Structure 1
Amino acid sequence: MAAPANPILRVGHENAHAFVVAMLEASGVSSKNAPIIANGLVQADLRGVESHGVNRIPSYLARIRNDVLDPKAEPTLTEVTPVVAQVDGHNGFGFPAAHLGMGAAIDMARTFGIGMVSVKHSNHFGMSAWIVRQAVDAGFLSLVFTNSSPALPVYGGKSQLMGVSPIACGAPSGENSKPFILDMAPSVAARGKIYKALRRQEKIPSDWALDSHGNPTDDPQEALRGVMLPMGGPKGSALAIMMDVFSGVLSGSAFAGAVTGPYDMSKPGDVGHFFVAIKPDLFVSLQDFKERMDVLYQRVVGSEKMPGVERIYFPGEIEQLTEEKRLKEGIPYVQDEIDALNAEAEKLGVAKIRLMPN
């Protein structure tokens, strides 16, 4: 039997992290910021969100080479009120700007119960769940918004205007439950999944996108030339507009179709973000909060199941189980992805990514 044309290869998470750090530092990113970026990318791969993982590195490095992303930029924080601050990303990587912003929101919430941070002049920050998790791991509830480049039409329109901008939020768990982590796009599928299918030479479901002629397509290349489809029609469209209001209009960054995507080398991204951190014991005791989260979790996963359903999961639970598995077994990549990463490493004089033994 012939071997598959694009076999699965596995990389340990620590090796993936070290490889990304080396690539970034060789590209001018500081030793402080490189691990933050690597952490966000590797977390995505561990959670099974490969569309926002390490395979984003070639596009990021291309933006550096085209002078539309500043690898040396350091985000700066300005206090607006005791519970409100703004971060200026200075056209650097979105990951350090997001990390700084959520960290500031957590610090304010620790003292005042709530913290709110707007981020301007940023770039793509990968998977939103890693920022939600930053707050959840510190024991706080959080909201994470961002806008993004045009990819889907507003309801009733036919051209790209709104971004496939994720809405994300989270809450820490009780003693007998999993944390609540929601990270979802307002489209039927995240645009990054289209790029992943293109890299892996795979088809996509025909209800994800329309081609440039307005017809359903299962070809990822044609989908990227066309538009993504909003989930739930007007509901998904309205959520995408909401992300633009809170992330773009409010922050002073680009909005209304003016954000530049991570694969567009023509100009800076000018992405905006919006973060909120909230103490869980503002209205009930911390113990009561945790017990109530336990009840919610147990009632959700213990709900009566539809025929054919084996298990009901809490939001974020599938990704957590995937992470537990991949921490042990490694992160799966296809040969073409490994080759693309190693080609970038060769340009930078960095050692190739280390694979796990078969």
Structure 2
Amino acid sequence: MDSRKYIIMADEQQEQQNLIYVSAQEAQAYAERVLQANGLTPTNATTVACGLVAADLRGIDTHGINRLPSYLIRIRQGVLDPSAEPALHIKTPVAAQIDAHNNFGFIAAAQGIQHACTVAETYGIGMVSIKHSNHFGMSAHLCQTALDHPSGPMMSLVFTNSSPALPPYGGRSKLLGVSPIACGAPGGPTHPDFILDMAPSVAARGKIYKALRRGEKIPMDWALDATGAPTDDPAKALEEGAVMLPMGGPKGSALAIMMDVFSGVFSGAAFAGGVTGPYDPSRPADVGHFLVCIRPDLFMSRAEFGERMDVLYERVTEGERAKGVERIYMPGELEQITERKRREEGIPFVKGEVEGLDAEARKCGVEGLRVV
């Protein structure tokens, strides 16, 4: 065996041995305890906790309950209002705007996606713009919420802007957010739903924070340090003057600008580098979101739509594979597989992450995480 492969496998085995597992139910209960102790109502605490645990279950650990300390320090610094209630204003029969009033983005976004789905039941499409918000977690969770709508699964588009991390193509200073692009559509009768959730950067910024938290290096093509040189050090990738790199050069840069147009400019929220990052407790974030829900039977029967989705799935996944590829997946399918596994085995954390979460629990006088 190649010695490098042996070392990698040994490192992975060692990491597996050092993992601590927490059930989804306990992660949810822990998050609710901590959030309620920091001023959220039980209902709103459940909403935020659901979004965080959904990310952990899908393997998007960068957007799971490890985000809680960064949110809670913003509450303690007075730049995030856990007691505010978003206000919904109807603009047309199919369009509404929500002022999040600087509460958690999860809360306004949950209200927005439900309203857009309800409107789409009648009119075929519904859209909601949100301003004065905060980070809303994993975008795929909102797509899944639309797919789980009680009246039937809805297609969705989920946009948000975020704090500066990327330079515009050809630029040197960070201006654009690592703003995810997400969409969802129900699958056919024999295949899974489609969910796309991706950042316009080579990697999501949360992955750099995760590497920093775990003492790991990052790939050299993720970011440039403050001197403009590629770096594998997550601390240098996050220092002042460092920038993340857009995927596909001008294409990733253009997608980040698109997110700012629809989520920032259009909503009345901050834009053009004005959003405050979730790890910066100095001032309100003023994030903007844009949500669209569409009834899948708007132009054909639901049955025909499902059959066509099944055909698409089969054409994508059953085509000729490139050398070394064992299986072709649809977007979101790997995360669905991870979710099934983690519901059975638990959500993995390293010791330092559990210690950090337990420290937050002690600060507000509630019980820490119960591990499996």
Question: Which TM-score band (shorter chain)?
Answer: over 0.9
Q: Which residue does the alignment assign to 2:18?
A: 7
Match of 2:59 in 1: 48
**Residue equivalent to 2:289:** 273
Find the aligned partners of 1:341 and 1:210 in 2 and give their Cα distance: 30
Deviation at 1:286, TM superposition (A): 0.7
SS of 1:259's equivalent in the other structure is coil
Q: Distance in 2 between matches of 1:253 and 1:320?
A: 33
Matched residue, 1:166: 180
Question: Cα deviation per residue 1:232-286 (whole Å; 9 max; x = unaligned)?
Answer: 0000000000000000000000000000000001100000000000000111111
Partner of 1:32, secondary structure, is helix
Give the aligned residue type for 1:315: P
**Aligned-partner residue type, residue 292 of structure 1:** R
Query: Aligned-pair distance for 1:7?
Result: 2.0
Aligned to 2:266: 250
3-state secondary structure, aligned to 1:33: helix
Q: 2:103 matched to 1:92?
A: yes
* Correspondence list, 1:31-46, <5 A: 31-46=42-57
Partner in structure 2 of residue 180 of structure 1: 194
> What is aligned with 1:332?
348
* Uncovered stretches (5+) of structure 2, i.e. residues with no partner: 1-9
Which position in structure 2 is the counterpart of 1:291? 307
Q: Is the 8 A contact 1:280 1:289 kept in 2?
A: yes
Aligned residue type for 1:210: L
Structure 2 CA distance, aligned partners of 1:63 and 1:224? 19
Among 199, 209, 216, the alignment partner of 1:202 is 216
User: Any residues of structure 2 matched to 1:125-164 within 5 Å, and which?
Assistant: 125-138=136-149, 139-164=153-178
CA distance in structure 2 between the partners assigned to 1:149 and 1:352 by the alignment: 31
Match of 1:64 among 54, 57, 75: 75
Task: Tell me by how many angstroms 1:24 deviates.
Answer: 0.2
Match for residue 90 of structure 2? Answer: 79
- Superposed CA RMSD in Å reads 1.2
Which whole-Å deviations, capped at 9, do the CAs of 1:47-104 have from their partners, x for residues lacking one? 0000000000000000001100001111111100000000110000000100000000
Corresponding residue of 1:353:
369
The percent of aligned pairs where both chains have the same amino acid is 64
Q: Is the 8 A contact 1:160 1:227 kept in 2?
A: yes
Q: Which amino acid in 1 is paired with 2:212? A: L
- Partners of 2:352 and 2:326 in 1: how far apart? 35
Secondary structure at the counterpart of residue 25 of structure 1? helix
Residue equivalent to 1:212: 226
Q: Deviations over 1:318-349 (max 9, x none)?
A: 00000000000000000000000000100100
Give unpaired runs (5+ residues) of structure 1.
none
Q: How does 1:282-321 map to 2 (within 5 A)?
A: 282-321=298-337
Contact 1:94 1:123 in 2 (8 A): yes
Q: CA deviation at 1:352?
A: 1.2
Letter in 2 for 1:261: G
- Alpha-carbon distance between aligned partners in 1 of 2:86 and 2:209, rounded to the nearest angstrom: 28
Give the C-alpha shift of residue 4 in structure 1: 5.8
Count residues in correspondence. 355
* AA matched with 1:62: I
3-state secondary structure, aligned to 1:57: helix
Q: What secondary structure sits across from 2:43 in the alignment?
A: coil
Counterparts of 2:162 and 2:180 in 1: how far apart (Å)?
9
Task: Specify the SS of the correspondent of 1:59.
Answer: helix
User: 1:210 deviation in Å?
Assistant: 0.4
In the alignment, the residues of structure 1 paired with residue 268 and residue 208 of structure 2 have an alpha-carbon distance, to the nearest angstrom, of 29
- Asked if the contact 1:137–1:172 (Cα under 8 Å) also holds between the matched residues in 2, the reply is no
Secondary structure, aligned partner of 2:129: strand
In the TM superposition, residue 136 of structure 1 has moved relative to its aligned partner by 1.5
Moved over 4 A (4+): 3-6
Please give the alpha-carbon distance, in whole angstroms, between the structure 1 residues aligned to 2:84 and 2:198.
29
Counterpart position of 2:119: 108
Structure 1 CA distance for aligned equivalents of residues 281 and 56 of structure 2: 25
CA distance in 2, matches of 1:352, 1:117: 37
Q: Deviation string for 1:278-327 (max 9, x for gaps)?
A: 00011111110000001101111101100100000011000000000000
8 Å CA contact retained: 1:13, 1:331: yes
* Other structure's SS at 2:182 match: strand
Task: Work out whether 1:22 is the aligned partner of 2:29.
Answer: no
Partner amino acid, structure 2, of 1:64: I
- Is contact 1:75-1:87 (8 Å) kept? yes
